[in-house]
């Protein structure tokens, strides 16, 4: 092989390789959301956006590649002193986005480090004017102040700060213990207040319930007393009306009085029977009604008996209460007469010697006539009373 031809072949191959490398380096494809800073002969030439671009070989050079997407950077905890001389450690998170690739490359050497240092100094200035309690409760205010300062300072760097967040605020351990004790005491105080308010409300409700219960019991007792009084009044009125319509004579009243006397001695503890003073008058009345000592009625007692009141047949009973219909006295009187007549017949069968007792001269005995040892019956409305002239 000719040495000249071999050398020529090598040269051609090297030339081809050089051309291929040059073409490859001259053609650049820029991806989306990225920018390339191109320098020509050491000076800034242009910024390549997304797409296909051709560079001038040996004259154009790519200086830097800038990511235009929003970036998140977190910084380690930074010790910051508050206005009340307490040291707290604060973690920050920065959200930023490059808006001018040329300024981000040529205005600052490392914009990430610059943002970090600017955040630390700004955070110390902001926290230094706040105490611990304001620092813990004013995160939104601190975030707004940090974002304003950082956005203004990084604007000339071609960086836009979108958001600043305080990730954590850690006070000293002793302060945390004091805060926990204070929080526990505050919660205990609130619990005691709520317990006292609950007890107060419970006592108030209990007192109101007892008051309403007492009022209702009093109203019930008053209504019961009123109803009982109305019932007693109705009963007394009915009895009073029946007595007055029956027009009983003193002998019947005396007999009823004697029937009531044994009830005074009822009871296991009664060893003494007190006889009222009216017993003599009652016995005298009964004796006069039964004919006296000689079998004739006492004219003086008969004269003292009040005259009977004639009641027209069918006269209705008096109803003093509009809502209660009293028993008809004629029905009660008729039943009393039947009982009295039955007792009289029974007495006549047991004591026949008393059948011939003469009535006072010039007087006509009204049926049924009272017999000895027999309680007088309620007389019918007579045409002539005992002892009246024929």
Measured CA to CA, the distance from residue 137 to residue 143 in angstroms comes to: 12
Count how many Cα atoms sit within 13 Å of the Cα of residue 340 in the half-sphere of its side chain. 22
Q: How confident is the model at residue 253 (pLDDT cuts 50, 70, 90)?
A: low
The rounded mean pLDDT for the chain is 75
**Does 291 have pLDDT greater than 90?**
no
- Closest C-alpha among 79, 95, 100 to residue 171: 79
Round to whole Å and give the CA distance between 365 and 207. Answer: 75
Does the pLDDT at position 258 exceed 90?
no
**Alpha-carbon distance 264 to 243, whole Å?**
23
Q: Is the pLDDT of residue 200 over 90?
A: yes
Long-range contacts, stretch 230-233, CB < 8 angstroms, 24+ apart: 230/321, 233/320, 233/321
Q: Which CATH class is domain 71-171?
A: alpha beta
User: Hey, is 235 helix, strand or coil?
Assistant: helix
Question: For residues 341 and 69, which has the higher predicted lDDT (pLDDT)?
Answer: 69
Query: By C-alpha distance, which of 32, 29, 40, 44 is closest to 104?
Result: 44
Q: Can you give the residue ranges of every domain in the chain?
A: 9-67, 71-171
Whether the ω angle into residue 132 lies within 30 degrees of 0, i.e. cis, is no
Give the distance, in angstroms, between the CA of residue 340 and the centroid of all CA atoms in the same chain. Answer: 70
- What's the whole-model pTM score? 0.46
Confidence of residue 372 (pLDDT cuts 50, 70, 90): very low
pLDDT the model gives residue 206: 93
Decide if pLDDT at 273 tops 70: no
Is residue 105 within 8 A of residue 44, CB to CB? The reply is no
Give the pair of three-digit tokens for residue 111: 């914009």
Q: Which helix (H) or strand (E) holds 87?
A: strand 87-98
Tell me what pLDDT residue 97 has: 92
> pLDDT tens digits, residue range 347-370?
667 654 444 443 344 334 444 444
């Amino acid at each position: 092989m000719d040495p000249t031809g071999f050398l020529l072949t090598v040269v051609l191959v090297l030339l081809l390789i050089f051309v291929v490398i040059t073409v490859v380096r001259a053609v650049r494809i820029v991806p989306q959301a990225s920018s390339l800073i191109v320098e020509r002969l050491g000076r800034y030439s242009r910024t390549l956006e997304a797409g296909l671009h051709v560079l001038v070989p040996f004259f154009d050079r790519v200086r830097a590649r800038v990511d235009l997407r929003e970036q998140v950077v977190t910084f380690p905890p930074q010790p910051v002193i508050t206005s009340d001389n307490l040291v707290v450690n604060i973690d920050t998170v920065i959200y930023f986005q490059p808006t001018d690739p040329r300024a981000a490359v040529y205005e600052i050497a490392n914009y990430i480090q610059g943002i970090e240092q600017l955040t630390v100094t700004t955070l110390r200035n902001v926290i230094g004017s706040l105490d611990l309690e304001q620092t813990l409760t004013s995160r939104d205010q601190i975030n707004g102040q940090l974002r304003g300062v950082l956005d203004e300072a990084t604007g000339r760097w071609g960086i836009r700060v979108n958001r600043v967040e305080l990730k954590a605020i850690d006070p000293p351990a002793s302060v945390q213990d004091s805060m926990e004790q204070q929080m526990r005491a505050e919660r205990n105080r609130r619990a005691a207040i709520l317990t006292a308010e609950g007890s107060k409300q419970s006592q108030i409700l209990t007192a109101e319930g007892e008051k309403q219960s007492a009022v209702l019991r009093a109203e019930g007792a008053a209504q019961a007393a009123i109803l009982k009084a109305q019932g007693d009044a109705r009963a007394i009125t009915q009895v009073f009306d029946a007595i007055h319509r029956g027009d009983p004579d003193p002998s019947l009243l005396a007999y009823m009085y004697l029937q009531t006397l044994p009830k005074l001695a009822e009871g296991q503890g009664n060893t003494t029977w007190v006889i009222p003073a009216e017993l003599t008058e009652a016995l005298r009345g009964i004796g006069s009604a039964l004919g006296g000592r000689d079998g004739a009625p006492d004219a003086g007692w008969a004269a003292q008996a009040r005259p009977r009141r004639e009641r027209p047949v069918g006269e209705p009973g008096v109803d003093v209460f509009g809502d209660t219909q009293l028993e008809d006295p004629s029905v009660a009187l008729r039943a009393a007469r039947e009982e009295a007549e039955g007792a009289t017949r029974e007495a006549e069968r047991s004591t026949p010697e008393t059948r011939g007792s003469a009535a006072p001269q010039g007087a006509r005995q009204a049926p049924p006539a009272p017999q000895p040892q027999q309680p007088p019956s309620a007389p019918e409305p007579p045409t002539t009373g005992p002892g009246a002239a024929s």
